[in-house]
Chain A
């Protein structure tokens, strides 16, 4: 499997994540979908790094940093979900409709 194979898997993963984000209405599942998208990015970064110009680990380092950012994002996201469940008793985003025209 060459670079194209990895990129195909990465694109499929990204697509599943993006679809899940738009189709799912539960805040935590939407958060998981975003994590899936970030993992797809990581896969493409390390694949580009492995098949790219030799001697530069920029892609692999980027992937490590993206993991750290994803962890921080999950922390912030879960904190926000917990805060909203305390006032609403539900994680379904369709129920969060107080802010409108």
Chain B
């Protein structure tokens, strides 16, 4: 037996040691020294990001083919690190005001990130499932993190019950895939095409339901608004982008890599789900007066736009256009990750008073009270709407180009119409911020320097990615190339 070369696992190993370090250091810190944990987490994550550089271009399978370190997985890992750093910076002040422990938060966060890493690197259905569970179980706990708050408990339990139900369905699909193909390898899933008949359809159906449940696609989205509204707001920001990134890593691995050879069979399902998801999410978001819940529904709509990229991949035949579909998914997930997380963080900053739940009234007259915060939020909302020169515009444009090139122009029309619909509820918040008078006793604003700094970084990133997307696109194209 030869020893396994652990060098390609460097980022994962650093994450594991980071968790152990956080747990240990937390034991010895005095109550007023907990900020060291945030510093430790962020510097550790920066180190993990740096460790992603040497594994770029490795493109190797380890652990007898159970684990793949290809450029696609490195992209997902780099995006995960960005999301993790933002989560670690946005949360501390909100948690401290409500007496929630920072050490446990950072520990659970890093565990979830490890799950996302494993999921992104899985070459086998066993690894995929373990990574998925390692990602979502900490997410359930984070949702219910405010133990004494009834909303947080409720959101956590609902998320847990429906999430586990979906995991069981996905797992049953995986089991049937294994039974029909005789292998648990993802690259062997294409053999399902030969397993025609009801069993093959059952397997693909169960996989589709389970995976789109995790990505919160309509009609499997009903856990999303409750879980997102119940969770502590900065954690909602993480939930809406972290596990979503993981869910799309899962979809890309399962459907693009595994079932890619038979994409003509599942194209129609994915396209219908995409349109149902963007339309359903947007229509319900229109009626919300609570900004936190509105952003929860709008995150469903964004899932629909990203699924359209997957449908474009499925419909195209030319490998270049198929690659473009996957690239549009990855770019959207990254851009959406930064802008949505920062938007939730702003909602959290307006909840300095714990009795505030993110109502639209709290945004009234924000431009007069905190001009910089209002300007930042306005940029984030414009980006979520998809107005240039922000990353949101470019991400939508990329999905549009991918769908048109793949010959599914009707999907592009659906996206454009939905973007117009979404503009209404995003711009309404901007109207409240700039054109309404503040409430009689406006909520105090949380101005913690760490949170403001993270917000500034996010807003700059949103603008920079929109103005100069070329470096990221080059990175994307190289990482998707490893898939084909």
Contact = CB atoms under 8 A, between A and B. Distances in A.
Chain B associates with chain A: yes
A34 B168 contact: yes
Nearest to B184: A58
Nearest to A51: B179
Contact of B157 (A69, A93, A100): A93
Nearest to B183: A58
Interface stretch (B20-28, B46-54, B142-150, B364-372): B142-150
A87 B288 contact: no
Contact of A84 (B125, B154, B183, B288): B154
A81 B155 CA distance: 12
Contacts of B235: none
A88 B141 CA distance: 18
B168 A41 contact: yes
A73 B171 contact: no
B288 to A, nearest CB: 7
Interface in B134-188: 137, 140-141, 144, 147-151, 153-158, 160-161, 164-165, 167-169, 171-172, 175-176, 178-179, 182-184
Given A73-B133, A81-B157, A98-B151, A37 B184 contact: no
Given A83-B153, A93-B161, A62 B184 contact: yes
A98 B179 contact: no
B137 A76 contact: yes
A4 to B, nearest CB: 11
A45 B175 contact: yes
Contact of B153 (A30, A37, A53, A80): A80
B179 A52 contact: yes
Contacts of B183: 56, 58
Contacts of A27: 157, 161
Interface string A79-95: 11101101110000100
Nearest to B138: A76
Interface string A1-39: 000000100000010011001000001001100100110
Given A30-B161, A101-B288, A44 B172 contact: yes
B80 interface: no
Interface string B286-322: 0110000100000000000000000000000000000
Contacts of A76: 137, 140-141, 160
Contacts of B149: 87
Contact of B226 (A47, A62, A73, A99): A99
B14 interface: no
A53 B130 CA distance: 24
A70 to B, nearest CB: 9
B258 interface: no
Given A38-B171, A61-B126, A87-B150, 10 more contacts: A44-B176, A44-B179, A77-B161, A79-B141, A80-B153, A83-B147, A96-B157, A96-B158, A99-B151, A101-B288
Interface of A: 7, 14, 17-18, 21, 27, 30-31, 34, 37-38, 40-41, 44-45, 47-48, 52-53, 56, 58-59, 61-62, 65-66, 69, 72-73, 76-77, 79-81, 83-84, 86-88, 93, 96, 98-101
What 3 A-B pairs have minimum CB-CB distances, sorted nearest first? Answer: A48-B179, A37-B168, A84-B153
